[in-house]
Amino acid sequence: MSTNTQIAGRGCLRIAVVGEFNSGKTTLVNALLGAPVLPTGFTSHTAFPTVVGYAPRPRLAAELAHRRRVAIAWERLAEDAPPGIRRLHVGMPLARLESLKVIDTPGLGRSVDGTDYEVLAACRRADAVIWCTPAVQAWKASEERAWLTLPESVRRRGILAVTFLDAVGSAANARRVMARLDAEAGALFRRVVAARAYDDMPLAAALDLPTLAGACRLTA
């Protein structure tokens, strides 16, 4: 079991999913994986960075100090999370995860001491960064400021994913939002994509993962 993950882990493409809180990060991670791996909702697990990787059987572990890991249940996390958790590790037997690791991050902009700094540091370590911005209130100054604190080398690996695009009402509205984001934020990302209709269209295709992986390998 452990050899399997390690092998899978080594050549893995690491994708960090970031954004302000409630910007649809977890939903996007699930779409990316094509399965409801992480629970969504308001009392969310994403108080901690969550690393999703391959495992032959579903499992959840909390990483404590000195990289010590203990098994834990989702319910426990929601009710009373033990102190000192540094990140969560989720393992799933999904084919897609054999070449991919996804890191779901705590939402930015909640002004919890130090978290934002940690999240942005996680971006530097990832091969690709997906920044989620909810269509209804897309690309606020606070998002722009946070993104601009990252070095350009990281921003070149960035994708701006516009989430909850269904909430804007009409297709015409969606086009106008996308047009504005292209104009205002296009230059700061590798590309701007609409992340809607998770059920109809695998997001992996929408995000053009093979190309992305190729591009990232080239830069790496």
Partner 1 sequence: MGFESPAAAGSALKELSALTARARPDEAIGAPLENARLRLLQMIDRMHGLIGEHAAPLLDAARTQLEQRPCRIAVIGQIKAGKSTFINALAERPGFLPADINPWTAVVTSLHFRASHEPPEHAAVFHLFSADEWRQLAEGRGRLRELTERLVPGFQPELLRAQLEVMRRRAEHRLGSKFAELLGTCHRYKSVTHEVLAGYVSAGDDTNQQRIKNGARRHYSDVTRSADLYFSNSPFAYPVTLVDTPGTNDPFLVRDEITRRSLENPDIYVFVISALQPLSTADISMLRLLNGLHKDRIVVFINRADQLANPGVDAAHIKTAVENRLRLEFPALRIPVIYGSAWMGNLRLQADSPNQPAAFKSAHAAALRMAGLPCSNDAAAARLTGSDRSRVAAVMHMSSGMREVSSAITRMMCSSGIAMLLRQIALCLAELVRSAEAGDRVELGAIHERIEARRQESSALRASIAEERQSLASFEARATALQNSFKDIESHFDKLVSSATQMLRHELGNMVREYADHQADSLLVALETDRKLKAWRCDVVPLREQLETAYLTAFQQAAADLAHVERFLYPQLKVIVSSLLPGYTGNLLEVPVWPPGLTPSVAPLSDKVAVDLGTSVWQRWFAVRKAAEERAAQLRTMIEDDFFRIADELVATADAHLKERVDYIMQRVNAIATGLRTGIERRNANLEREQTLLDGTADRQALEQEQKAQAEDCVRNQRAHAAALDELNGVLQVLDAAQGETVLQ
**Interaction between residue 125 and partner 1 (CB under 8 A):** no
By CB under 8 A, how many residues form the interface with partner 1?
37
> Tokens representing 136?
């209804």
133 contacts partner 1 (rule: CB under 8 A): no
Total H helices, total E strands in the chain:
9, 9
Rule CB under 8 A: say whether 23 interacts with partner 1.
yes
Name the residue nearer to partner 1 (CB basis): 74 or 184: 184
Residue 117 contacts partner 1 per CB under 8 A: yes
| Options 32, 168, 195, 209; binder of partner 1; rule CB under 8 A | 168
How far does CA 45 lie from the centroid of its chain? 13
**Complex with partner 1: residue 3 or 43, whichever CB lies closer:** 43
Only one of the segments 47-55, 76-84, 136-144, 201-209 lies at the binding site for partner 1 (rule: CB under 8 A); that segment is 136-144
| Cβ-proximal residues to 48 (8 Å cutoff; 6+ apart), any chain | 62, 85, 86, 87, 88, 106
From candidates 93, 173, 197, 201, binder to partner 1 by CB under 8 A? 173
* C-alpha closest to that of 58 among 96, 99, 89: 89
Query: Considering only residues 109, 155, 202, 213, which one is a binding residue for partner 1 as defined by CB under 8 A?
Result: 109
Calpha distance 14→78 (Å, rounded): 26
Q: DSSP string spanning 49-67?
A: -EEEEE-SS-EEEEE-GGG
Q: Which amino acid is located at 170 in the chain?
A: S
The answer to whether residue 139 forms part of the interface with partner 1 (CB under 8 A) is yes
Q: Are strands 128-134 and 13-19 parallel, antiparallel or unpaired?
A: parallel
Of 7, 84, 99, 142, the one binding partner 1 (CB under 8 A) is 142
| Chain contacts with partner 1 (rule: CB under 8 A) | 20-23, 41-43, 109-111, 113-114, 117, 134-145, 164, 167-169, 173, 176-177, 179-180, 183-185
